Chain A
Amino acid sequence: MRRPALLAQLAAPCALVVAVALLGTLVSRSSEGYFVDSLVKVAIVVALYVFIGNSGVLSFGHVSFVALGAWTAGVLSVPTAEKPAIMPNLAHFLRGTTVGNVPSLLLAALAGGVFALVVGLALMRLSGLAAGIATFGVLEITHNVLRYYEKIGPGLNTFSSVPETTGLWQASIGALIAIGVAFAYQRSRFGRMLRATREDAPAASAVGISVYRQRLGAFVLSGVLAGLAGGLYVHLLPMNTESLYLDLTFVTLAMLVVGGATSLWGAVVGALAVSALDSFLAQAENGVKVFGGTLDLPAGTRLVVVGVLMALVLILRPAGLTGGREFSLPRWRRP
Chain B
Amino acid sequence: MILGILNVDWQTLADALALGAVYALMAVGIGLVFGVLRLVNFAYGQLVMAGAYALAFASQWNWPRWAGILLCFAIVLALSLVMDRLVFRPLRTQSPAVMLVATFAVAFLLQSVALLWFGPLGKIASSLAPLNRPVVISGVDIRKIAIVAVVVAVLCLVAVQLLLARTTVGLQMRAAAMDFRTARMLGVRANRVIGGAVLISGALAAVVAIMLTVQTPLVTPDFALRDTIVVLAGVVLGGLNRLVPATLGGFAIGFASGLLGGALPTTQSQYLPSILFAAVILVLLIRPNGLFTRGRESLERV
Task: Tell whether A and B belong to one assembly.
Answer: yes
Q: Which A residues lie at the B interface, using CB under 8 A?
A: 56, 58, 122-123, 125-130, 132-134, 136-138, 140-141, 143-145, 148, 201-202, 246, 250, 253-254, 257, 298-304, 306-308, 310-311, 314-315, 318
CB contacts (< 8 Å) of A300 on chain B: these are 112, 115-116
Q: Is B151 an interface residue (CB 8 A)?
A: no
* Dominant SS among interface residues on chain B: helix
CB contacts (< 8 Å) of A250 on chain B: these are 104-105, 108
Q: In the complex, are the beta carbons of B104 and A253 less than 8 A apart?
A: yes
In angstroms, how far is the closest chain A Cβ from the Cβ of B46?
Answer: 11
Nearest chain-B residue to A254 (Cβ)? B105
Q: In the complex, are the beta carbons of A130 and B284 less than 8 A apart?
A: yes
CB contacts (< 8 Å) of B94 on chain A: these are 314, 318
Contact with A along B263-297 (1 / 0, CB 8 A): 00000001101100110110011001100000000
Q: In the complex, are the beta carbons of A125 and B285 less than 8 A apart?
A: yes
Q: Which B residues lie at the A interface, using CB under 8 A?
A: 40, 87, 90-91, 94, 96-98, 100-102, 104-106, 108-109, 111-113, 115-116, 225, 229, 232-233, 236-237, 240, 270-271, 273-274, 277-278, 280-281, 284-285, 288-289, 299-300, 302
- A301 contact from B91, B104, B111, B116, Cβ within 8 A: B116
Closest 4 CB pairs of A and B: A307-B109, A303-B112, A137-B277, A310-B105
Q: In the complex, are the beta carbons of A314 and B271 less than 8 A apart?
A: no
- B274 contact from A56, A125, A144, A303, Cβ within 8 A: A144
- B109 contact from A125, A130, A304, Cβ within 8 A: A304
- B277 contact from A126, A128, A140, A307, Cβ within 8 A: A140
Q: How far is the CA of A298 from the CA of B116 in the complex (A)?
A: 7
CB contacts (< 8 Å) of A314 on chain B: these are 91, 94, 98, 101-102, 105
Q: In the complex, are the beta carbons of A126 and B288 less than 8 A apart?
A: yes
Known pairs A144-B270, A318-B98 / 5 extra A-B pairs, C-beta < 8 Å: A122-B281, A127-B300, A133-B233, A136-B233, A310-B101
Q: How far is the CA of A201 from the CA of B298 in the complex (A)?
A: 13
Given A127-B300, A144-B273, A315-B91, A137 and B278 touching (CB < 8 A)?
Answer: yes
Q: How far is the CA of A310 from the CA of B97 in the complex (A)?
A: 14
Q: How far is the CA of A174 from the CA of B111 in the complex (A)?
A: 33
User: Which of A123, A133, A299, A307 has the most C-beta atoms of chain B within 10 angstroms of its own C-beta?
Assistant: A133
Q: In the complex, are the beta carbons of A307 and B97 less than 8 A apart?
A: no
CB contacts (< 8 Å) of A58 on chain B: these are 97, 100-101
CB contacts (< 8 Å) of B112 on chain A: these are 300, 302-304, 307
Identify 23 residue pairs between A and B in the complex whose beta-carbon atoms are under 8 Å apart, listed by A's number.
A58-B100, A58-B101, A123-B285, A125-B285, A125-B288, A129-B100, A130-B288, A133-B232, A133-B233, A136-B232, A137-B281, A141-B273, A141-B278, A143-B273, A148-B271, A303-B112, A304-B112, A304-B116, A306-B108, A311-B109, A314-B91, A314-B94, A315-B87
Q: In the complex, are the beta carbons of B284 and A126 less than 8 A apart?
A: yes
Nearest chain-A residue to B232 (Cβ)? A133
Nearest chain-A residue to B234 (Cβ)? A133
Q: In the complex, are the beta carbons of A134 and B109 less than 8 A apart?
A: no
In angstroms, how far is the closest chain A Cβ from the Cβ of B267?
Answer: 9
